[in-house]
Structures are given as C-alpha cells and as structure tokens.
C-alpha cells in the first residue's frame, strides 16, 4: 500500500512536514484529526467534551482502519493515536512509520496549547505525557527523524527513506 505515516507529540510538526512531504512525493495528505473533525462535524475539543477520550479514540481507530485500506497517502497521526495499538498497527501494515522526535519542552514552549485538549494540564503534565508515549513511538517507528532538523531538511530525509522503502 505504501503509505507514509507520521507520528509524534502534538505540535511536533507532523502536519507541516506531512503537507510538504506529500507535495514533494506527489501523494495525497491526510491529517487524522482533520478527518475525524470532518466526519463528526465537530472539533476535537468538542468531541473530547461530548465523548471523552475513549469516544475520540474509537473514532481515531475507525479512521486509521479506513486510511490503512488506501494507498499513496501521507498520514499525519494525532499525537495519541499510537497509544492505541490497533490503530497504529493498522496504519503500519499499510506503509512506513516516521517518528518526528522533537524535544517536548521546546514543543510546549513554542506551540499554542489553547485548542489542544491534552495540552491543557500545564508543562509538567505535557512532559509526563511525552515520557509515557516515548517508548510507544519508538516501538512503532521504522525511522526516527530528530526534531532539530528544519522542516525542509526533515522532508528531504523522509522522502529519501520513503522512496528507498518503496523500491525494496
């Protein structure tokens, strides 16, 4: 199927890098959070308020399974998607997983958390969430792209690795 899947903490640049990578590779771009919002007709914060995190994760699983059946996509996953093994396993079976590993303290200090439900607990809670997710991201990633790279540099590295995987 050859999808290119991006994982990492909220605010690490998955959507930005994903859009640029899709353009460079001639693939379609999908953000799982945007797909969920479009299908639900509500924002992520509204879904969290109405359905809780479990309800949101169920929607995320459905979207992951649907996207895994498609090919030729660059998929930017919500930060918590890999915590649901079924969701990330479905996507991984359809392509190559890249973890955008950006320093969590830098993310928190530079990205607005106002519209991010799981970013509301303050910096320590955000850093703790990263500590919990780091081994999960590491487990599912085929490649780790360290966050010190600029978006254009990250896209170049991702594109080269993706193309190599597609030829293998």
Cα dihedral 159, 97, 34, 51, rounded to 10, equals -170
Binding residues for ATP: 11-16, 116
Binding residues: 11-16, 33, 57, 79, 116, 133
Dist CA 114 CA 28 (whole Å): 28
Give CA 21 to chain center in angstroms.
14
Binding residues for Mg(2+): 15
Binding residues for substrate: 33, 57, 79, 133
Dist CA 104 CA 147 (whole Å): 10
């Amino acid at each position: 199927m050859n999808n290119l899947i991006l994982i990492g903490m909220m605010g690490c640049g998955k959507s930005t890098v994903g859009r640029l990578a899709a353009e460079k590779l001639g693939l379609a771009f999908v953000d799982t959070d945007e797909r969920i919002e479009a299908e639900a007709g509500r924002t992520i914060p509204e879904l969290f308020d109405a359905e809780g995190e479990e309800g949101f994760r169920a929607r995320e699983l459905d979207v992951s399974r649907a996207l895994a059946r498609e090919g030729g996509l660059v998929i930017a996953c919500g930060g918590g998607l890999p915590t649901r093994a079924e969701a990330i396993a479905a996507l991984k079976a359809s392509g190559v997983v890249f973890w955008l590993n950006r320093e969590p303290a830098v993310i928190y200090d530079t990205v607005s958390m106002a519209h991010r439900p799981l970013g509301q607990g303050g910096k320590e809670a955000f850093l703790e969430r990263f500590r919990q997710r780091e081994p999960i991201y590491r487990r599912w990633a085929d490649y780790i792209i360290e966050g010190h790279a600029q978006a254009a540099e990250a896209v170049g590295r991702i594109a080269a690795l993706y193309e190599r995987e597609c030829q293998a």
